[in-house]
């Protein structure tokens, strides 16, 4: 059976060029902080990768801090910002990845949730009103957390506007860009964010590498200590092969960005087939990632859809991969006003850099047929 991988938002297939670059780097000796020839060569490879990352997201010089993952990047950004900036309160959007809320709560700061609208867009009017009388001198510093693109619905958030509102009130903005980098243009400087995070495995890079992007001279307390790595901002021996692979993925991401229109066309084809079969699609009122499709099918539990499609040779996700296996409804869709039935019957279909017409055709063929069979069984039980 031919397999069709439609779960890029969980982990995108690694590019062949990345695999080759990682393998070559693994065959070389040297610690990136050693001063001998082998160490200098490793250090150069590391800094070449940093420059490729910087170029892709328009990061400031010395603004790229390497980590082991998107989750570590979130941890480093939130915990590292707290003390230097006297953060006493963190505003977290209702649609953030669970890693953001979990790390925000772990800081010990007061937490407030920014609601989202039915479109999937964060309610910036609520944020502006809430911050209207916020007194940093009296209440302490604050951090606003809003992702660039949602991992479930693909809805792209108005980060520049959020940054302006936040800065006008004297706060800082953290942006989780894990789902956006390599899929849509990301410009850190123009976004207005003070600090950003992302990871390589969402767009064709290797697992186990990520980055924090920080503004010029942004104070960041290291949450991993013990060495002088990353200019004392993150201790730990560098994963040079993985970071070399990240650099190659960042170079090649321009190919994916050029394919965005074609990928969106494939997404829209699947969306039309699902809608015709009776599904509700989420986030259509807003700009979305080109390859993300989130839909609900009443009476067709998400876990059942996942297994049914898997047996048909199609890999999809029932929500966030980090939450797979959990039966609780999607907090993202609930924030958008979804009912319990709509939340528990939601799936995410996600395309990426190597998706093909055959992948979309397979979904258009198999998913509507599976939903029709499910509705027929429901009708038969009701008649009985």
Q: Point out the catalytic residue in the list 250, 294, 322, 364.
A: 322
**Count of beta carbons in the 10 Å neighbourhood of residue 226:** 9
DSSP state of 321: G
Cα dihedral 219, 222, 226, 232 sign: negative
- Strand extents, DSSP E, the chain: 4-5, 64-67, 87-93, 110-114, 141-145, 172-176, 195-199, 210-214, 280-281, 292-296, 314-315, 346-350
Q: Are 148 and 287 in contact (CB under 8 A)?
A: no
- Within 8 A by CB and 6+ apart from 265, the residues are none
| Long-range residue pairs from 309-313, CB within 8 A, at least 24 positions apart, any chain | 309/363, 309/366, 309/367, 309/370, 312/362, 312/366, 312/370, 313/1, 313/2, 313/3, 313/4, 313/362, 313/366
Alpha-carbon distance 195 to 179, whole Å?
A: 16
Q: Are 309 and 265 in contact (CB under 8 A)?
A: no
Q: Are 72 and 236 in contact (CB under 8 A)?
A: no
Kind plus residue range of the DSSP H or E element containing 372: helix 357-383
Alpha-carbon distance 58 to 77, whole Å?
A: 18
- Looking at the DSSP bridge assignments, the partners of residue 149 are 156
Q: Are 80 and 156 in contact (CB under 8 A)?
A: no
Active site residue 364: no
Class of residue 108 by CB neighbours under 10 A (exposed 0-12, middle 13-18, buried 19+): exposed
Among the listed residues 162, 170, 167, the one whose alpha carbon sits nearest the alpha carbon of residue 141: 170
Alpha-carbon distance 45 to 243, whole Å?
A: 8
Alpha-carbon distance 180 to 289, whole Å?
A: 7
Please identify every residue annotated as catalytic: 322
């Amino acid at each position: 059976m031919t397999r069709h991988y439609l779960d890029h938002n969980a982990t995108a297939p690694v590019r062949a060029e990345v695999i080759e670059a990682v393998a070559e780097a693994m065959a070389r000796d040297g610690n990136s902080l050693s001063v001998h020839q082998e160490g200098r060569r490793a250090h150069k490879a590391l800094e070449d990768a940093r420059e490729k990352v910087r170029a892709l997201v328009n990061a400031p010089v010395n603004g790229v801090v390497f980590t082991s993952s998107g989750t570590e990047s979130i941890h480093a950004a939130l915990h590292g910002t707290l003390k230097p900036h006297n953060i006493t309160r963190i505003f977290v959007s209702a649609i953030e990845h669970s890693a953001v809320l979990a790390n925000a709560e772990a800081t010990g700061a007061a937490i407030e949730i920014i609601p989202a609208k039915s479109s999937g867009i964060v309610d910036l009017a609520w944020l502006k009103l809430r911050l209207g009388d916020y007194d940093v001198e009296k209440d302490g510093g604050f951090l606003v957390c809003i992702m660039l693109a949602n991992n479930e619905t693909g809805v792209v958030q108005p980060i520049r506007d959020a940054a302006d509102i936040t800065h006008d009130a004297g706060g800082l903005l953290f942006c989780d860009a894990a789902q956006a980098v390599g899929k849509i243009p990301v410009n850190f400087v123009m976004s207005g964010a003070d600090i950003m995070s992302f990871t390589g495995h969402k767009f064709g890079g290797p697992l186990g590498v990520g980055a924090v992007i920080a503004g010029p001279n942004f104070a960041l307390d290291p949450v991993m200590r013990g060495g002088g790595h990353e200019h004392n901002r993150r201790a730990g021996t560098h994963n040079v092969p993985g970071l070399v692979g990240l650099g190659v993925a960042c170079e090649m991401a321009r190919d994916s960005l050029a394919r965005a229109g074609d990928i969106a066309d494939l997404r829209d084809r699947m969306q039309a087939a699902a809608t015709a079969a009776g599904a509700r699609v989420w986030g259509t009122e807003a700009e979305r990632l080109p390859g993300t499709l989130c839909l609900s099918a009443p009476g067709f539990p998400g876990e059942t859809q996942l297994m049914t499609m898997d047996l048909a040779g199609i890999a999809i996700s029932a929500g966030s991969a980090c939450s797979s296996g959990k039966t609780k409804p999607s907090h993202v869709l609930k924030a958008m006003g979804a009912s319990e039935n709509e939340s528990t019957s939601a799936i995410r279909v996600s395309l990426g850099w190597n998706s093909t017409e055959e992948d979309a055709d397979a979904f258009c063929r198999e998913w509507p047929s599976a939903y029709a069979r499910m509705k027929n069984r429901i009708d038969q039980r009701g008649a009985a």
